Amino acid sequence: MINYKIAITGVVQGVGFRPFVYNLALKYNIKGWVNNDEKGVNILLYAKEENIEKFINELKINPPVLAKINSMNIEKITDKKEQKNYKNFEIIQSINSNNKSTIISPDIAICDDCLKDINDNSNFRYNYALTNCTNCGPRYSIIKTVPYDRINTSMGKFELCENCNKEYINPTNKRYHAQAIACEVCGPQINLYNKYNILIESNINAIEKAAQLINEGFTLAIKGMGGFHIVCDSKNDKIIEKLRLNKNRPNKPFAIMFKDINSVNSYTNISNKEKEVLLSKEKPIVLVNKKEGFQLSKYIAPNINQIGCFIAYTPLHHLLFRYLNNPIIATSANLKAEPIIRTKDEILDKLNNIVDFILDFNRDIINTCDDSVIQIVANNIVKIRNARGYAPSLIKLEKSIKKNILALGANQKSTISIAFENNLILSPYIADLNSIESLEYFERTINTFKKFYDFEPEIIVCDKHPNYESTKFALKLKEQNPNLELIQIQHHYAHILSCMAEYNLKKDVLGIAFDGTGYGDDGNIWGGEFFIANTKEYKRVNHLKYFRLLGAQIAVKEPKRIALSLLFDNFTIDEILLMNIKCVKAFNSNEIQMFYKMWQKGLNAPFTSSIGRLFDAVASFADILQTQSYEAETGLLIQQYYDETIIEHYSYKIIDEQIDISNMIKEIILDSNKKLICSKFINMLVQIILELSDIYKNLPVVLSGGVFQNRVLLKILIEKFHKQGREFYFSKDVPLNDEGISVGQIYHKI
């Protein structure tokens, strides 16, 4: 009989790790103990060596479902003075210390076992809408600090009843120390209110009544795991039109929640990979293709053949679907540019003109967390939004760092990242930092992560853009604490670094960053960049030739302005006035003359090299869209019109480290077929990337930036690079868009 000591780090708290170890020890006749501390899980084993070896092997190969082991330090105790005999195996009390480094687990969708419990009328959790266990339920959204014990969560105020307590203290039970467990007797209650804050019904009656109201054509706010959804019937054209009007959301697609995978199959064409992700423990929103003759409302995702769909992921949702006639719209409850709402009072205050009723429960959401959004490209998971189920996200560093780093990300699709020891942790998606509410949430998220890990930054990293709120916040922190080291990283370089961080790349790469906007080193707006880069430095080796944005930020909303600007670059004003194309006809002659003066003098018309803005111009030339109602609408529509049978591409030239698209503009005005224009444009981008990549054959290619979320473009590049046998990378765990910027900012300092 010998002793072994094991220390495990990673996502190992709130995931049933200790009871798993306990039952594994019983299986192999091992004595000793297991506990949590603020670094992870500690195990002391006393048994025959062959039994301990079997124990360790199974722990490595088959850990708990939700656990993510980052390190397992195994030490055989050979000093006889340190060896101890044990008579049984115990789970002992958590140890507190001043060094917090246990990784917080994301919220996880309800598991099959809990689903059976709420549908089993002989179980005391029958119909209980907040049922969970060690393998599912809220984590990040309810935790105040670590260690993950009930007292440190929003469940601390709910004292367990006798039935729940029996499960909670039994190491062989699936709810052993599942901190959010409760039942209708001792736990949070479900309540239905009208828009005047009058209580209508409670518990299962409230859920049944809520479903009835949805079926009748009312709009409800329903509390989810990390915030509220606005919910209505997905087949009711009239109510969806009204929702669009009240929410000032004319075209942006709504996500649809389905009862189960069979229901998803009825309305969409899903691949095996999409089905796998829809059914995963994370249950994200997945972008999939509509079936021909799509049977839900035409107002759900106007003009595009994709919808975002997800499967009910909380017990409350599943109980609701017992009584619903159809799938439901389930879109984030928020105002434009604000984070998702987490309280009933805020719903009443801000969305009173949108929702008729509110389905609430009195388990507080401590940390809001939106739904994750995923798309599948060439059988690869690509994250559009990294949140519930996946975040907080951990990247394990090769070695420990000496100073704590806080990275503040970009302005749109805000996230923060922190790094300490050998951990790099990415927060869930926050919001665009364009409102007081989103700025408050941004600061609250920073404080939350500081509290989780007793984290005080010694280095602050931010973007170079002087008008980003995240940059202003960094400068304010530096002013308050002059000892902080402040570093500003160029936006597109940070994009490349974010992908390098995911794959732990340190060598030189050819980084290709295509997006909508980012502050360039020369003060212009970049977005079509080719870099030779490593973790310490970068050199811009090529970029899209600059063109002007007429009206600056307004041009982002009006693609016709960008198309007109590109015409000014290539034709005389007289030639343009005679053109019979839609992007010219969208203006009167006086407007064109005025914009021409703006273009000539550079008045409120900054230069850009943005591929994202080039997408806007092409949508205008193709007369797909002259005015844009939501971000990347042009990209989605161009993707929609792509025809893979068209192999031609528009002409371009690479001159003096610039990509000159003058020939493309001269050619595009001669084409009128939407499919032809969109296909030749995307094919041109592919050709540009392949040609420039070929110049740097010795370097791996790294693709990053929001433009590469265009699944047609990315799919073609994946296929082409695979065919070439080329080493290339694109982000999968870290979003390609600006959510990944904070990760890249940190990786520069690792």
The residues with which 509 forms a beta bridge, in sequence order, are 533
Instruction: Identify the weakest region by mean pLDDT among 1-10, 313-322, 367-376, 675-684.
Output: 1-10
Pair of tokens at residue 97? 């210390």
Of the candidates 602, 637, 440, the one whose C-alpha atom is nearest the C-alpha of residue 524 is 602
> For residue 13, what pLDDT is reported?
78
Looking at residues 100-107, what average pLDDT do you find?
Answer: 82
The answer, yes or no, to whether residue 408 has pLDDT greater than 60, is yes
Question: Highest mean pLDDT: which of 141-150, 396-405, 459-468?
Answer: 459-468
Q: How confident is the model at residue 99 (pLDDT cuts 50, 70, 90)?
A: low
Find out whether 381 and 285 touch, Cβ atoms under 8 Å: no
2 has pLDDT over 80: yes
Q: Is residue 100 scored above 80 in pLDDT?
A: no
For the chain, how are helix, strand and coil distributed in percent, rounded to 5? 35, 20, 45
* SS3 call for 53: helix
Helices 711-724 and 633-641 cross at an angle (nearest 10°) of 60
Residues 267-292 have a mean pLDDT of 97
- State which amino acid sits at residue 191: N
pLDDT at 663: 98
Given this model, what pLDDT does residue 508 score? Answer: 98
Q: How far apart are CA 345 and CA 378, in angstroms?
A: 44
End-to-end CA separation in angstroms for the chain: 44
Q: Tens digits of per-residue pLDDT, 562-597?
A: 999 999 999 999 999 999 999 999 999 999 999 999
Cβ proximity of 357 and 195 under 8 Å: yes
C-alpha to C-alpha distance for 309 and 327, rounded to whole angstroms: 10
706 and 670 Cβ atoms separated by less than 8 Å: no
Q: Residue 16: what pLDDT?
A: 84
Spell out a b/e string for 279-290, using b for 16 or more CB atoms within 10 Å of the CB, else e. Answer: ebebbbbbbbeb
**Per-residue pLDDT tens over the stretch 210-221:** 999 999 999 999
Is the backbone peptide bond immediately before 559 cis, with ω within 30 degrees of 0? no
The full DSSP string for 530-597 is: EEEE-SS-EEEEEEEPPEE-TTTHHHHH-HHHHHHHHHHHHS-HHHHHT---HHHHTS-HHHHHHHHH
3-state secondary structure 56-75: HHHHHHCCCCCCEEEEEEEE
Amino acid, res. 220: L
For the four alpha carbons of 292, 294, 299 and 305, in that order, the dihedral sign comes to negative
Query: Tell me, what's the pLDDT at 614?
Result: 98
pLDDT above 70: percentage of residues in the chain: 99
Q: Are 712 and 719 in contact (CB under 8 A)?
A: no
Distance CA(478)–CA(100), nearest Å, equals 25
Report helix, strand or coil for 417: strand
Question: Residue 97: is its pLDDT beyond 60?
Answer: no
Closest CA to 145 of 448, 465, 388, 445: 448
- Mean pLDDT taken over the chain: 95
The DSSP-derived string for 294-323 is: --S-TTSSTT-SEEEEEE--SHHHHHHHTT
pLDDT at residue number 94: 72
High-pLDDT (> 90) share of the chain, %: 90
Structure tokens at 616: 């806007």
Q: Distance of alpha carbon 718 from its chain centroid, rounded? A: 22
70 sits in the region (left: phi over 0; alpha: psi -120 to 50; else beta) called alpha
pLDDT tens, residue by residue, 632-682: 999 999 999 999 999 999 999 999 999 999 999 999 999 999 999 999 999
Q: Averaged over 259-268, what is the pLDDT?
A: 97
User: CA-to-CA distance for 210 and 193, rounded, in angstroms?
Assistant: 10
The CB-side HSE value for 451 (13 A sphere, CA atoms) comes to: 14
At residue 723, the 3 state secondary structure works out as helix
pLDDT in tens, 126-155: 999 999 999 999 999 999 988 778 999 999
**CB–CB of 526/608 below 8 Å?**
yes
Looking at residue 98, what is its pLDDT?
A: 55
What digits encode the pLDDT tens for the residues 496-550?
999 999 999 999 999 999 999 999 999 999 999 999 999 999 999 999 999 999 9
Distance CA 227, CA 328 (A): 17
Q: Give the predicted TM-score (pTM) of the model.
A: 0.94
Asked whether the beta carbons of 442 and 414 are under 8 A apart, the reply is yes
User: Are 655 and 637 a contacting pair, CB within 8 Å?
Assistant: no
For 547, the token pair is 């063109």
Res. 15 pLDDT band, cuts 50 70 90: confident
Q: What is the dihedral of CA 14, 15, 18, 22, to 10 degrees?
A: 150
How do residues 410-435 score in pLDDT, each as one tens digit? Answer: 999 999 999 999 899 999 999 999 99
With CA atoms as reference, report the closest residue to 382 among 374, 370, 390.
Answer: 374
Crossing angle for the helix pair 674-695 and 711-724, to the nearest 10 degrees: 40
